[in-house]
């Protein structure tokens, strides 16, 4: 019979048997899967594990702190944080094309992660230890999807964190490969991870970089982070987090419209709210959420976020629209 407790016990034993006395590395993305995988491996081998978190500067408000503080507090894991915001912003300067943004972010991510990895391997080597394992939060559906060869159309180049580098040889540790998402969340809770991590809604690897229509700049990111934080706060306060699959908040940086505030004319940007209901993100419908909540979000965003004078609601299902705008 399936109990989270027995899954944890089994996996802990399996990880110990696989890794022995060697060392392992795990990339954290801020997402549920890598967090639970890391927590499980930490429980099994403790300080033989080091986690790496690449902060690309494209995360939402408070998310990096969640990894750097809450996750570390809950697990006691050794964490190496790489602050790569400037590098990512430089690489993205002048780029508006969505696919190009995705490629740049994916490429930079792998470079930064590999460099951090190589440093850890060298440091351990200096202590006479060998880093031989890479932990990945691969789930059962990931394996079915990629091995099934069902030929899902590649609409957007999906970039997933922790892509396996080809030049350093690691053996993979994949303690979640028999689990579905809801089981992974149960295991996370069993391991003592906070709800904000365990019940986090999906968020794309390229982060807010693909939620700014137009060039990505620090200023625009800060603006979008504020708007997004307000929307998340109000959705949570209204108790809608479980009902809504996710709600991308998008900045139309290349669009301006006329508004009026106080007794002055404004010429600002629109923010798009994209609340969707879905089972698996393959298809989705726009969420019919209460007008009062929409009104509160709209009022707060236009009052509190400088340079935003309009909030619009995306009422497109998927298909034809994708969940993300880019």
Q: Which residues bind ligand XMP (CB under 6 A)?
A: 155-156, 158-160, 202, 204-206, 246, 281, 318, 322-324
Distance CA 201, CA 183 (A): 15
Give the H/E segment covering residue 132. strand 131-135
Min dist. Cβ of residue 298 to ligand XMP (A): 22
Helix, coil or strand: residue 81: strand
263 annotated to a ligand binding site: no
Alpha-helical (H) ranges within the chain are: 4-19, 32-45, 63-65, 72-75, 85-92, 98-126, 140-147, 181-190, 195-198, 218-237, 291-304
125 annotated to a ligand binding site: no
Min dist. Cβ of residue 278 to ligand XMP (A): 8
Min dist. Cβ of residue 321 to ligand XMP (A): 8
Task: Return the number of the residue (44 or 323) whose C-beta is nearest ligand XMP.
Answer: 323
Min dist. Cβ of residue 39 to ligand XMP (A): 19
Min dist. Cβ of residue 281 to ligand XMP (A): 4
Structure tokens at 192: 């003592």
Helix, coil or strand: residue 38: helix
Min dist. Cβ of residue 310 to ligand XMP (A): 23
Distance CA 124, CA 269 (A): 49
142 annotated to a ligand binding site: no
29 annotated to a ligand binding site: yes
Task: Return the number of the residue (246 or 287) whose C-beta is nearest ligand XMP.
Answer: 246
Task: Return the number of the residue (15 or 176) whose C-beta is nearest ligand XMP.
Answer: 176
34 annotated to a ligand binding site: yes
Min dist. Cβ of residue 273 to ligand XMP (A): 15
Helix, coil or strand: residue 218: helix
Structure tokens at 205: 């690897």
DSSP, res 6: H
Task: Return the number of the residue (60 or 296) whose C-beta is nearest ligand XMP.
Answer: 60
146 annotated to a ligand binding site: no
Other beta carbons within 10 angstroms of residue 324's beta carbon come to 18
Buried b or exposed e, range 238-277, using 16+ CB within 10 angstroms: bebbeebbbbbbbbbbeeeeeeeeeeeebebbbbbbbbbe
Task: Return the number of the residue (234 or 324) whose C-beta is nearest ligand XMP.
Answer: 324
Cα dist from 174 to 12, 50, 61, 167, whole Å: 12, 15, 29, 20
Task: Return the number of the residue (101 or 269) whose C-beta is nearest ligand XMP.
Answer: 101
DSSP, res 163: P
CB 230 within 8 A of CB 301: yes
Task: Return the number of the residue (155 or 260) whose C-beta is nearest ligand XMP.
Answer: 155
33 annotated to a ligand binding site: yes
Known binding-site positions: 29-35
Known binding-site positions for ATP: 29-35
């Amino acid at each position: 019979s399936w109990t989270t407790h027995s899954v944890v016990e089994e996996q802990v034993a399996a990880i110990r048997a696989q890794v022995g006395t060697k060392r392992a590395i795990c990339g954290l993305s801020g997402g549920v899967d890598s967090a639970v995988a890391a927590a499980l491996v930490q429980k099994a081998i403790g300080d033989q594990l080091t986690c790496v978190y690449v902060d690309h500067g494209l995360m939402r408000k408070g998310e990096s702190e969640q990894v750097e503080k809450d996750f570390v507090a809950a697990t006691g894991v050794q964490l190496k944080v790489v602050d790569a915001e400037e590098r990512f912003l430089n690489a993205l300067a002048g780029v508006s094309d969505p696919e190009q943004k995705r490629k740049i972010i994916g490429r930079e991510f792998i470079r930064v992660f590999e460099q951090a990895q190589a440093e850890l391997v060298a440091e351990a080597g200096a202590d006479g230890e060998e880093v031989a394992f890479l932990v990945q939060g691969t789930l059962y559906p990931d394996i079915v999807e990629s091995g099934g060869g069902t030929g899902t159309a590649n609409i957007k180049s999906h970039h997933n964190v922790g892509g396996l580098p080809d030049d350093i040889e690691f053996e993979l540790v994949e303690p979640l490969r028999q689990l579905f998402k809801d089981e992974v969340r149960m295991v996370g809770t069993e391991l003592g991870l906070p709800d904000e991590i365990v019940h986090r809604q999906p968020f794309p690897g390229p982060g807010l970089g693909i939620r700014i229509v137009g060039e990505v700049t620090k200023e625009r990111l800060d603006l979008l982070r504020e708007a997004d934080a307000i929307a998340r706060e109000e959705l949570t306060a209204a108790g809608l987090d479980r009902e809504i699959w996710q709600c991308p908040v998008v900045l139309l940086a290349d669009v301006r419209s006329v508004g009026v505030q106080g007794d002055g004319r404004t010429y600002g940007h629109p923010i798009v709210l994209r609340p969707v209901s879905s089972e698996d993100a393959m298809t989705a419908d726009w969420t019919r959420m209460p007008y009062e909540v929409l009104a509160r979000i709209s009022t707060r965003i236009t009052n509190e976020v400088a340079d935003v004078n309009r909030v619009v609601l995306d009422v497109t299902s998927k298909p034809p629209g994708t969940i993300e705008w880019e």
